[in-house]
Chains A and B, each alone.
Chain A
Amino acid sequence: MRIFEKLPHIDFMKWKGVALAISWGIIILCLLLARPFTSHSRVKVGMQFTGGIDMMVRFRIPMEADQIRSALQNGGVNGAVLVRYASPAGTEDYSIKVKAKEGQDSKDSTAQINKILDVLKALDPQSKTDSRHDLNTESALALSGKWYDANLLGVKGDEQSRHAVYDGWAGKVTEARGAKGAITDYSQLPADLPQPLKDMVKKEYRLGNMTLGRFESFSPSISGEWTRKTLAAVFWASVAILLYVMFRFTMSFAVGGIVSLIHDVLMALGLFVLFGYEFSVPVVASFLILMGYSMSDTIVVFDRIRENSHKPEYRRVTITKLVNDSINQTLSRTILTSLSVLFVAFCLLVFGGPALRDLSFPIFIGVITGTYSSIYIAAPVVVYWDQWFGGKDKLKQHA
């Protein structure tokens, strides 16, 4: 199968001015809509960069956001941001974020964490009437420790082998929580769990309605460091790529490559913000991948321009024709290589769950714009650069 039965002859460079204007227009529009650096900014930044607490709680009882919000306020937790997540039926997932105050030290944040946890625990009506520990928040380690202390099965042998027996059973109990993350009825305990253990669990544990799924807390000092680190990573990656392209090609290619790279990153950034995604360290990582990908896509076109410039039939043609022909010759592979990565990015976006969605979105956008920008950003810049600063002979000498 082929995309083009015959080599296409599209005059890409004819539209280069229009294309440049439209695509930078979109970027500027996106950035204007995103309104960074203003109080109404749509840019969402994770706690890893600002310092603060970020947690995900799951209730297995009906729970309204307002209920949680007012409980937190009454408990003395101010400035909490609540977001409701999509969750399996019968459960209600909320993300709670509290930004750290300036100059907050780790003792303050520990106190704050405990405050929030106490408020959340108190939201489960069961906790008021039933003072037993909650089996759904008990870890395997603690459960196994309790069994071990009482040695309910009368296991003989040294410390280690006794621990091993109880650790195994405790692990099975926590696994029984399954996809919902909780045991909702004692009958869901593993069927082969020895009776003494089962009895103990039934007697000493209640089945609570709240679990903490994910919990993160960052001190302001380390979050500043994260910001610096990620910005440094992006900066040095650009420098490294620029230097490598300069070394392998010429200045005009390097400039073209970097401009198209900045284009792709800005486009993905703008759309990322407008779609309401939040920046986290893995997201920045995926932007770095986007940079690498965008550049390698551009290199395919550049390589062909360089190869053609050595051919006798391109000795006497204009730089525009040289670039145009090169793009046409590589068009089908540019599209195909992008498609293959696009498939994967799409699958990650659709099937990857909430955690991978944030991360694969920039790549998904980046692959599309990367393909486009190789043709309409990188190549025109090479043409302009050569027309203004060198002429095609210079390009050929260096190539």
Chain B
Amino acid sequence: MSKRSLFRLVWTLLICAACAYFFVPLSKVRLGLDLRGGVHFELEVQGQEALEADLRDTRDRIQERLQEKAITGVTVKSDTSSVRVDGVTPETQAAVTKIISNFGGYTITEQGPARILTQKDFYQKSLKEDANKRAQQIIENRINQFGVAEPEITPSGAEGNRIVVELPGVGEAERERIKGLLSTPGRLEVRLLSKKQPNQIPVKTEAEALAYLGGALPEGTELFPELVEEPTVVTNQMKAAIRAAKPGEKKTDNVRQWVLLETKVYYDGGAITDARRGQDQMGTNTVNFTLNREGADANAKLTEIASNEGRQFAFLLDRKVISVLRSEQKIIGGGVEIKGSFNQQQADDLSLKLKSGSLRASMKFLEEQSMEASLGADSIRHGITAAVVGFGTIILFMLLWYKWSGLNAIVALTVNLIVMLGLLGSFQATITLPGIAGFALTLGMAVDANILIFERIREELDAGKSVSGAIQAGFDKVFWTIVDAHVTQLFAALLLFIFGTGPVKGFAVSLTVGVVASLFTSIYVSRFIYDWVLERHPGTKTLSV
């Protein structure tokens, strides 16, 4: 064997070996959700909510500072786009201005006795970005704690405000529960009930509650709904009754009453270091959590006030009251127990949310897909059968049509297959059902390159060229045709890759990889095989093509 042939052989084998490394054993190849079953969500962070939450925070902080400085007569309110500080008098003006000018992200406009604070553009942007980043992190936390193997959580969307969550092996039974874990912020707040008014208001709507309070909220208070208690043990008869009564509507919130709370938040979910489900002596489900030092101090202060003044305090989750407690004594140390109306699973989910941290904004479901595993297995069987039969037909056809040259094409095609699998493996691409189709189709197209070359060689032989001359001319003259044909296909594949997601992306990756592999094998490997054969039979007069 000449040095050149040896070099080319070694080179080809090396490439094959390197590719094989990426897909042997075959379990290294990752299957998409459409083949292995699982759920897929595309979520969008509701950035507007993060802005509104910040407005509320700002309002609370201004109120706190006003109280600290003992400034009275000034009211602070927030709506969905601004904070309004009203009732500023010439005497309090200097002090108020000093307080509100501390909020750097806000533009302040004067309107008579009122000061309007609105968020600056850069500040809104950073709030949203923060919410996006946090959402990614928290969702990862929650999914990991839920215990799904090999979850895939990837940011997407031009603004970075979307998250694609893919959970293999998760079925219909947990879909709803996981949706709850993914979409709700899970923000816990602890506040005292206001002492100025009757605390609990037994009406169902906010308007009625306001009317009950005489039309206006007392200063420094807010109204919150308390959800109705669900029985801890749901019997099967009850379940059947619920199902029969109103399909689909049982999951709506049911307000039991409204509660008037102070605006001051003693501590929130951020102070929680650990949380788990527990049970009290009565066998009711509880959520127990541990606070960090700051939180423990705040809790001690809260329980001290509550026990001294005989007042109650409330746990709020996502701005809804889940539990109202009273305290007999000051509690030191960071252990807290929430008794609420949860069943075992809800208690589990709540502690999971508390442990994983809260989202800045809730998430909206843009897309939801689930695939049953057995259906996926079915697809694999169909896809593989189609691909194998297709491949087999091509092999048979090439051998019949081109005889020994056909064998050359098959070797090239096999190398092509190895290179494709290797490239797919090295990109850690997932194989999807359209991906299998793309795989089969590219093999069909790869053989096209060989056909073009062989037909050209036949033509050159017919024109009276020698075997080596015909091979030389065949490859040279077809080179640009093959490149052009491949490039146009590459355009289509690349655009698919840019615009597609999920299974379509799998399709695009297979095609792109297939086009590249086919260029290599048809031009390099096939040529090498011919040259090698010519080397062993110099001066041969016939070529089996």
Report whether A221 and B443 are in contact in the complex, using a CB–CB cutoff of 8 Å: no
What B residues does A296 contact at CB under 8 A? 445, 448, 484-486, 488-489
Bound form: Cα–Cα A145–B170 in Å: 12
Q: B367-399 toward A: CB 8 Å interface, digit per residue (1/0)? A: 111111111011101110111011101100100
Report whether B374 and A178 are in contact in the complex, using a CB–CB cutoff of 8 Å: yes
Report whether B386 and A352 are in contact in the complex, using a CB–CB cutoff of 8 Å: yes
Report whether A214 and B375 are in contact in the complex, using a CB–CB cutoff of 8 Å: yes
Contacts A141-B148, A237-B491, A240-B495; A344 near B364 (Cβ below 8 A):
no
- Which of A180, A222, A244 has the largest count of B CB atoms less than 10 A from its CB? A222
Report whether A303 and B484 are in contact in the complex, using a CB–CB cutoff of 8 Å: yes
Bound form: Cα–Cα A142–B447 in Å: 47
Bound form: Cα–Cα A201–B456 in Å: 67
Instruction: Tell me whether chain A's interface is mostly helix, strand or loop, or mixed.
Output: helix
What B residues does A115 contact at CB under 8 A? 247-249
What B residues does A286 contact at CB under 8 A? 434, 437
Q: A142-165 toward B: CB 8 Å interface, digit per residue (1/0)? A: 100100000000000000000100
Q: Among the listed stretches A20-28, A32-40, A228-236, which one makes contact with chain B, having 4 or more residues with CB under 8 Å of it?
A: A228-236
Contact of B448 among A229, A245, A337 (CB under 8 A): A337
Q: Is residue A131 contacting chain B, with contact meaning CB distance below 8 A?
A: yes
A residues contacting the other copy or chain, number (CB 8 A): 101
Q: Is residue A281 contacting chain B, with contact meaning CB distance below 8 A?
A: yes
Q: Among the listed stretches A10-18, A132-140, A184-192, which one makes contact with chain B, having 4 or more residues with CB under 8 Å of it?
A: A132-140
Q: Is residue A43 contacting chain B, with contact meaning CB distance below 8 A?
A: no
Bound form: Cα–Cα A256–B314 in Å: 75
Q: Is residue B176 contacting chain A, with contact meaning CB distance below 8 A?
A: yes
Contacts A119-B247, A219-B366, A233-B496; A344 near B394 (Cβ below 8 A):
yes
Report whether B448 and A341 are in contact in the complex, using a CB–CB cutoff of 8 Å: yes
Q: Is residue B335 contacting chain A, with contact meaning CB distance below 8 A?
A: no
Within 8 A of B (CB), among A176-201: 177-182
CB distance from B265 to the nearest CB of A (A): 27
Contacts A145-B147, A179-B374, A233-B496; A215 near B441 (Cβ below 8 A):
no
Bound form: Cα–Cα A167–B147 in Å: 11
Within 8 A of A (CB), among B132-181: 147-149, 169-174, 176, 179
CB distance from A156 to the nearest CB of B (A): 19
What B residues does A317 contact at CB under 8 A? none
Report whether B488 and A292 are in contact in the complex, using a CB–CB cutoff of 8 Å: yes
Bound form: Cα–Cα A236–B500 in Å: 13
Bound form: Cα–Cα A240–B494 in Å: 11
Bound form: Cα–Cα A241–B484 in Å: 10
Report whether A307 and B477 are in contact in the complex, using a CB–CB cutoff of 8 Å: yes
Report whether A340 and B444 are in contact in the complex, using a CB–CB cutoff of 8 Å: yes
Contact of B147 among A141, A179, A347 (CB under 8 A): A141
What B residues does A56 contact at CB under 8 A? 375
Contact of A211 among B239, B372, B386, B440 (CB under 8 A): B372
Contact of A348 among B169, B179, B249, B437 (CB under 8 A): B437
Q: Is residue A368 contacting chain B, with contact meaning CB distance below 8 A?
A: no
Q: Is residue A106 contacting chain B, with contact meaning CB distance below 8 A?
A: yes
- Which of B240, B389, B448 has the largest count of A CB atoms less than 10 A from its CB? B448
Q: Among the listed stretches A270-278, A356-364, A378-386, which one makes contact with chain B, having 4 or more residues with CB under 8 Å of it?
A: A356-364
Within 8 A of A (CB), among B173-229: 173-174, 176, 179
Report whether B487 and A244 are in contact in the complex, using a CB–CB cutoff of 8 Å: yes
What A residues does B447 contact at CB under 8 A? 340
Contact of B444 among A119, A174, A212, A345 (CB under 8 A): A345
Instruction: Tell me whether chain B's interface is mostly helix, strand or loop, or mixed.
Output: helix
CB distance from A360 to the nearest CB of B (A): 6
Contact of A300 among B485, B492, B495 (CB under 8 A): B485
Bound form: Cα–Cα A245–B149 in Å: 48
CB distance from A11 to the nearest CB of B (A): 21
Report whether A241 and B374 are in contact in the complex, using a CB–CB cutoff of 8 Å: no
CB distance from A131 to the nearest CB of B (A): 4
Contact of A138 among B171, B383, B438 (CB under 8 A): B171
Report whether A142 and B379 are in contact in the complex, using a CB–CB cutoff of 8 Å: no
Report whether B484 and A347 are in contact in the complex, using a CB–CB cutoff of 8 Å: no
Q: Is residue B511 contacting chain A, with contact meaning CB distance below 8 A?
A: yes
CB distance from B175 to the nearest CB of A (A): 8
Contact of A222 among B42, B389, B434 (CB under 8 A): B42
Contact of A141 among B171, B176, B389, B503 (CB under 8 A): B171
Q: Among the listed stretches A60-68, A328-336, A389-397, which one makes contact with chain B, having 4 or more residues with CB under 8 Å of it?
A: A328-336
CB distance from B389 to the nearest CB of A (A): 5
Report whether B481 and A218 are in contact in the complex, using a CB–CB cutoff of 8 Å: no
Within 8 A of B (CB), among A287-304: 288-289, 291-293, 295-297, 299-300, 303
Report whether A351 and B385 are in contact in the complex, using a CB–CB cutoff of 8 Å: yes
Contact of A179 among B179, B378, B383 (CB under 8 A): B378
Q: Is residue A110 contacting chain B, with contact meaning CB distance below 8 A?
A: yes
Which chain A residue has the least Cβ–Cβ distance from B179?
A: A110
Report whether A181 and B375 are in contact in the complex, using a CB–CB cutoff of 8 Å: yes
Q: Is residue A125 contacting chain B, with contact meaning CB distance below 8 A?
A: no
Q: Is residue B26 contacting chain A, with contact meaning CB distance below 8 A?
A: no
Which chain A residue has the least Cβ–Cβ distance from B391?
A: A344
18 pairs, CB–CB < 8 Å, chain A vs chain B: A118-B247, A131-B240, A180-B374, A212-B370, A219-B364, A233-B496, A281-B503, A286-B434, A288-B492, A293-B489, A297-B485, A300-B452, A300-B481, A333-B451, A333-B452, A337-B448, A348-B390, A353-B378
Known: A182-B374, A219-B364, A356-B434. 20 other contacts (CB 8 A): A1-B400, A131-B239, A137-B173, A171-B169, A213-B374, A215-B172, A216-B370, A236-B495, A240-B491, A281-B504, A285-B504, A286-B434, A288-B492, A292-B492, A300-B452, A307-B477, A336-B401, A356-B382, A356-B436, A359-B437
Closest 6 CB pairs between A and B?
A139-B171, A115-B248, A353-B382, A292-B492, A296-B485, A344-B444
What residues of chain A have their CB less than 8 Å away from a CB belonging to chain B? 1-2, 56, 75-76, 105-106, 109-119, 122, 128, 131, 133, 137-142, 145, 163, 167, 171, 174-175, 177-182, 211-219, 221-222, 229-230, 232-233, 236-237, 240-241, 244-245, 248, 281-282, 285-286, 288-289, 291-293, 295-297, 299-300, 303, 307, 329, 332-333, 336-337, 339-341, 343-348, 350-353, 355-356, 359-360, 363
